[in-house]
Amino acid sequence: MGRRGTAFPPAGPALATGGIQPGIQPADKPTRRKRVSRQSVFELLGSAAAALAVVFLISVLFGLSASFGTFILWFILFLAIYGILCRRNHGVLLGKDRLATVAVWSGAVVAMIPLAGVIGYVIFKGASVALADFPHFFTSDMSGLSATAPVTDVGAGAAVIGTLEQVGIAAVLSVPLGILTATYLADSISLFARVVSYVVDAMTGAPAIIAGLFIYLFWVQPRGHEGKSGFAAGMALAVMMLPVVTRAAQEVVAIVPGSLREAALALGAPQWRVLVRVVLPTARVGLMTAVILGVARIAGETAPVLFNAGGNDKFNWNPFVGQQDNLPFRVYQLILQPSINANRDAWGVSFVLVLLVLFLFVLARLVGSSRPGRRLIPIRRRS
């Protein structure tokens, strides 16, 4: 018996499991359907068929030809019929939810169609060239390129090495600086922070050729012909990558719960340790997404490399000395030549570029998918 005669519930399995009986869903965990019901599929397909029948009837009566406008008319009628059907069968709230779901999925499909078309066409045109004498195209250079040289005599190996080194240099220069700037912008509301934010926004929309000309005038031109190198191209790419990483990282750092920082500061941790051990590990996945966006921004750029790398038909493993090749720059050079084989080589290099960007994205996702606080390289602590 408790106070005022209140009886306590008997101890049992419910209390042993934290007050949740087996088979009962917790109140704070919503129940979600794992599969789409058959009725929902029939409603979706029936609405699409009904809208198609109405469009066909209108085209017969008014003599309309099949065009993009006809597809838009069908989609509008489909949404209207599907919305009315869901509202009558399931109510207003569920009808709005299903309409929003269809709109979101439709937008995703529309966005994926051109992307899939471009990637599919590059694979169709370039896979046969790159895989003709595998792995020769991935390990050789363009020193044997001529008007009559077959595609099996050349390769994109030198361009792959140049692209990896230049993107790596850009990442080393821009990622730490971008994350530190993002942390400052997320924590400060001073006048200087607002000025830095405006500069970052302006740099985000700047054309790629501006970054290339800036590094060319600052680094390459004072050194003459010897100024062109992979390092110069990497600096130009870093100028383009920095605002993208900064803006994306700022949004990620800003959503880290303030209670985590306050708890660490209350325990006596200095500001730098809170940043290194609490904020950045918590936002690791979002920061890797920011890095992916930055790499996607610079991986296919040609103008900065054209001004600063110079291009090289042979391998150059040292990005600090001598001109260096690059995949987008190599595609630009090959596509301008009148030779048919050179144009086929350009498609092969484009295919290698797509594979390289995909590999970098997967690698970044694997690095960022580890849970906060986990060390990628285990280090034994001293007692």
User: Which pLDDT does position 383 carry in this prediction?
Assistant: 45
User: Which pLDDT does position 15 carry in this prediction?
Assistant: 43
Q: Which of 313, 382, 302, 321 is nearest to 155 (CA)?
A: 313
Q: Are 148 and 213 in contact (CB under 8 A)?
A: no
User: Which pLDDT does position 311 carry in this prediction?
Assistant: 84
Q: Give yes or no for a cis peptide into 372 (omega within 30° of 0).
A: no
Instruction: Name the token pair of 374.
Output: 């986990």
- What does 135-162 look like in DSSP terms, one character per residue? THHHH--STT--TT--GGG--SHHHHHH
Interhelix angle 230-254/208-215, nearest 10 degrees: 130
DSSP state of 88: H
140/269 Cα distance (integer angstroms): 53
137/130 Cα distance (integer angstroms): 6
User: Which pLDDT does position 369 carry in this prediction?
Assistant: 64
Q: Which of 373, 248, 351, 234 is nearest to 301 (CA)?
A: 234
Question: What residue ranges of the chain are covered by domains with CATH 1.10.3720.10?
Answer: 139-368
Within its chain, how far is the Cα of 244 from the centroid?
Answer: 11
User: Which pLDDT does position 173 carry in this prediction?
Assistant: 93
Measured CA to CA in angstroms, residue 63 lies from 52, 59, 60, 127, 207 at distances of: 15, 5, 5, 44, 47
290/366 Cα distance (integer angstroms): 14
Within its chain, how far is the Cα of 283 from the centroid?
Answer: 16
Residue type, 197: S
Measured CA to CA in angstroms, residue 119 lies from 125, 327, 358, 374 at distances of: 10, 16, 11, 35
CATH homologous superfamily, domain 139-368: MetI-like (1.10.3720.10)
User: Which pLDDT does position 245 carry in this prediction?
Assistant: 92
Q: Which of 180, 195, 382 is nearest to 290 (CA)?
A: 180
**Phi, psi at residue 343, to the nearest 5°?**
-65, -35
- Beta bridge mates, 310: 324
3-state secondary structure of 26: coil
* pLDDT tens across the length of the chain (383 residues): 444 444 544 544 444 444 445 445 444 454 555 567 788 888 888 888 988 888 888 887 777 676 777 888 888 889 889 888 888 888 888 888 888 888 899 889 888 998 899 999 999 999 988 888 888 888 888 887 877 778 778 888 899 999 999 999 999 999 999 999 998 888 888 889 899 989 998 888 888 888 889 999 989 988 887 888 999 999 999 999 999 999 989 988 888 888 888 888 888 888 888 888 888 888 888 888 888 888 888 888 888 888 888 888 888 899 998 899 999 999 998 888 888 888 888 899 999 999 888 887 787 777 666 555 455 444 454 44
3-state secondary structure of 341: helix
Tracing tokens 């040609």 back to the chain, one arrives at 302
Q: Are 7 and 1 in contact (CB under 8 A)?
A: yes
User: Which pLDDT does position 242 carry in this prediction?
Assistant: 92
**Phi, psi at residue 318, to the nearest 5°?**
-100, 110
